[in-house]
Amino acid sequence: MDNGRGDDPVAALLGAGVVVTGAGRGIGAALARRFAEAGARVVVNDRHPDRAAAVAAEIGGLALPGNASDRLVPAARELLGGAVDVYCANAGVLRTGGPEASDDDWATSWDVNVMAHVQAARDLLPDWLDRGRGRFVSVASSAALLTLIGSAPYAVSKHASLAFAEWMSVTYRHLGVHVHAICPRAVRTEAYEAELESTELQLLSTAIGPEKVADALFESIAADRFLVLPHPEVAEHAAQRVTDRERWLSDINRMQTSTSR
């Protein structure tokens, strides 16, 4: 898409075709609203048709109900009447437990949190590489950089989603494909409220509104920065994890044991 906006990546969103999965509420809805404000044509995906329709009507977008693990790209192109310029893989699932979690919980976590991203990239990349431009956004969570006490399926699958986003970036950035990984901690959404009710999960940062996540993404788009950290302290914690893993493991284990008493 050539809109005459030069090298300004935010201005270039005017008229762009954008898909946001899991956009019926929370972070996804905030991302959809922000892209619409930037002048993009937004496809709002959600597995709940009423939610997709409500957000699409609010922002003047296009509703695409369905599971994020479905092949959404062909249908999105049809709705947009052209190319998908930006794809936001936001939809995710959180299942608690460890190895004892059911096979279904592990499979669902892998399907939605990882393979939905892979399938989307599989459908997007041929066109993006042909045109020499495209933008892929992975909402990966701080669990992808650290961990999440009480949820092995989520922590493991989010690590994998970040690894896939990193692989995409190192493989295609010189060919015009921009990749961003959003890694927030607590965000005030319905899912966050459900987490607060669980005795198995511990959230370590002050909750922010989903609009702050959208703001952080747009700052990273403007700066062409891969890692999006709405909670800046995550960068320090991630650095500690790498530079002194033994201490980090001990500290997280201490948190685990203190909350289980």
Domain boundaries, given as residue ranges, for the chain: 11-233
Q: Is the pLDDT of residue 160 over 50?
A: yes
pLDDT at residue 7 in the model = 78
pLDDT at residue 187 in the model = 82
Q: Is the pLDDT of residue 126 over 70?
A: yes
- CATH entry 3.40.50.720 includes domain 11-233: yes
With a pLDDT cut of 70, the percent of the chain lying above it is 90
pLDDT at residue 6 in the model = 52
Reported as a pLDDT band with limits 50, 70 and 90, residue 186 is confident
What average pLDDT does the structure give for the chain?
90
Q: Which long-range contacts (CB under 8 A, 24 or more apart) does 119-125 make?
A: 119/69, 119/71, 120/72, 120/73, 120/87, 120/89, 121/164, 121/168, 123/71, 123/73, 123/74, 124/73, 124/84, 124/87, 125/172, 125/177
